[in-house]
Amino acid sequence: MKLFSSFGQYLLMLRGTIRKPENSKMYWKEFMHQSVEIGYGSLGIVVIISIFMGAVSAVQTAYQLVSPLIPKETIALIVRDTVILEFAPTLICIVLAGVVGSKIASELGNMRVSEQIDALEIMGINTKSYLVAPKVLGALLTIPLLVIISMVLGIYGGRLASSLGELVAADAFDRGLQSGFVIKNVYIGLAKAYTFAFIISSVSSYFGYYVRGGALEIGRASTAAVITSCVMILIADYAIAYLFL
């Protein structure tokens, strides 16, 4: 029951974000600010995770490919497809749900608890559109970019691990990368990235925006935001895989 009313409130919040801005310049400024916070702020962790997850997937694929009948280049191909289809969008977005989601939820929660949201409302500003929309749009702009970076770095990490561990030579790896490449996989990966970006930003905004109480509740809200985002990401991941693969 509570789940349904929360979901209803979530949808109402989203509908409330679609309003004509009081002052487009200020909204633009807020959008840019959020894009930098979300995108640039998470770049470091995305770089590190991407390289390592590519490396690990290369090592594990090599470990499982014992048959002499399968050429070593296949490792590159498997790394490429798993990174593009699953690792870059899903794993990165699960991490971003933690990094970005908790930031959004606690920022809004703090604004709610310290009456900053009320102060904006009093001034005649639609806080749903001023506070939530720039975050959602900023996430939709930057998270897919981060995922593309992650795809490239993940494959690079796989290549690096392959040549360092003498699993596959670099030129063989490059040959493998080019074989049987379908652009559709990239589109699916990006579709996931957009979906997950929307989930992370809107769900975390919801939990932060409707916080009641004090500092303790802000902490609870950001935990709830992260958990809910992660679960929804996994459900959406499964749905997209089921529909498109």
**Site residues (vs another protein, CB under 8 A):** 22-23, 25-26, 110-111, 114-116, 118-119, 121-125
Task: Give me the least distance between CB of 126 and another protein, in Å please.
Answer: 9
| Pairwise CA distance, residues 174 & 75, whole Å | 10
At CB < 8 A and 24+ separation, what contacts does 227-234 make? 228/203, 229/97, 229/101, 229/199, 229/200, 229/203, 229/204, 230/94, 230/97, 230/98, 232/199, 232/203, 233/90, 233/93, 233/94, 233/97, 233/196, 233/199, 233/200, 234/90, 234/94
Task: Give me the least distance between CB of 153 and another protein, in Å please.
Answer: 31
Which CB sits closer to another protein, 111 or 168? 111
Which CB sits closer to another protein, 118 or 171? 118
Task: Give me the least distance between CB of 211 and another protein, in Å please.
Answer: 15
Task: Give me the least distance between CB of 114 and another protein, in Å please.
Answer: 6
Which CB sits closer to another protein, 66 or 123? 123
Say if CB 131 and CB 142 are below 8 A apart: no
| Pairwise CA distance, residues 165 & 134, whole Å | 45
Which CB sits closer to another protein, 9 or 114? 114
Which CB sits closer to another protein, 82 or 201? 201
The SS3 of residue 179 is coil
